[in-house]
Amino acid sequence: MNEQLKQQLHLQLQQMLESLLAQIAAQTSDVQVVELD
């Protein structure tokens, strides 16, 4: 596979994961404030 393409895909995956985690964190932050400490 093209090295540049691999890098691009990796970056896209990372961004998708980060936004997913951010959404989950935003949805559950109210509930888990105590546990996250």
Q: Tell me: the pLDDT tens digits for 1-18?
A: 799 999 999 999 999 999
Please give the residue that has the higher pLDDT: either 25 or 10. 10
- Position 30 scores a pLDDT of 67
Local confidence band at 25 (pLDDT 50, 70, 90 cut-offs): confident
The structure's pTM equals 0.60
User: What is the C-alpha separation between 22 and 9, in angstroms, rounded?
Assistant: 20
Predicted local distance difference test score (pLDDT) of residue 31: 63
Could you give the C-alpha distances from 14 to 4, 24, 25, 31, in angstroms and in order? 15, 15, 16, 26
Backbone angles phi, psi at 35, to 5 degrees: -70, -30
Q: What mean pLDDT is reported for the chain?
A: 85
Structure-model confidence comparison of residues 29 and 7, the more confident one:
7
